[in-house]
């Protein structure tokens, strides 16, 4: 029996999303066409349209797929600090920021703004609702694994942390994110007598 390659195990949709991310990182989103994506992945143009009705849908799927990679870093941060919530949040934030600094797709999106190509940027800024919602839900799922104050404003705190980390992803600004995350998380912590 012949072992299947990684590309054989991926669905057509996954291959298209991965191909779109590779093309965007290499050539910029403005140069990614449905026909070019089809050629790059080795499928027909109609296949691309069957999976995604438009370039905008490809862009959204690409950003949401990349978000899963970032959320993997969040999970790794929490897994590395299973006892201390502040340490887990700090570790998760640090991992996300490091991953962001090395991520070719994110770099392509952010640096494209310097050339006037801003089509993808709103998916991470002004139209980032889906990204923020998914990240907030994932963070809340991990935060509730720790001892919390009974009246802890979990959703509000997780929302604020996601927004501040996303802000630092888009425009890195030194180590201040650790201080912000620690300060924001304080209302979650149980009080000790």
Q: Is the pLDDT of residue 150 over 90?
A: yes
Give residue 1's pLDDT: 46
What is the DSSP code string of 40-58? HHTS-HHHHHHH-SSHHHH
Give residue 192's pLDDT: 57
Confidence of residue 120 (pLDDT cuts 50, 70, 90): low
Q: Which two tokens stand for residue 27?
A: 């050539």
Backbone region of residue 43 per phi and psi (left: phi > 0; alpha: psi in -120 to 50; beta: other values) = beta
pLDDT tens per residue, range 31-79: 899 999 999 999 999 999 999 999 989 988 998 898 899 999 999 999 9
CB-count exposure of residue 120 (10 Å: 0-12, 13-18, 19+):
buried
CA–CA dist 181, 162 (Å, integer): 9
Give residue 109's pLDDT: 74
Decide: 65 and 13 in contact? Cβ < 8 Å. Answer: no
Q: Which CATH architecture has domain 57-188?
A: Orthogonal Bundle (1.10)
Average pLDDT for the chain: 86
Which pTM does this prediction carry?
0.82
Give residue 175's pLDDT: 67
Give residue 155's pLDDT: 97
């Amino acid at each position: 029996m012949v072992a299947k390659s990684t590309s054989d195990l991926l669905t057509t949709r996954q291959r298209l999303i991965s191909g779109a991310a590779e093309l965007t990182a290499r050539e910029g989103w403005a140069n990614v066409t449905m026909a070019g994506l089809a050629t790059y992945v080795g499928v027909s143009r109609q296949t691309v349209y069957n999976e995604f009705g438009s370039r905008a849908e490809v862009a959204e799927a690409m950003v949401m797929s990349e978000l899963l990679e970032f959320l993997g870093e969040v999970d790794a941060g929490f897994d590395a600090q299973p006892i201390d919530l502040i340490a887990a949040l700090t570790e998760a934030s640090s991992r996300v920021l490091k991953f962001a600094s090395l991520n070719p797709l994110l770099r392509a999106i952010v640096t494209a703004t310097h050339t006037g190509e801003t089509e993808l940027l709103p998916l991470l800024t002004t139209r980032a609702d889906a990204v923020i919602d998914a990240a907030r839900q994932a963070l809340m799922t991990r935060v509730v694994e720790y001892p919390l104050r009974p009246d802890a404003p979990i959703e509000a705190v997780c929302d604020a942390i996601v927004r501040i980390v996303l802000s630092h992803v888009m425009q890195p600004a030194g180590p201040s994110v650790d201080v912000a995350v620690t300060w924001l998380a304080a209302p979650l912590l149980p009080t000790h007598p």
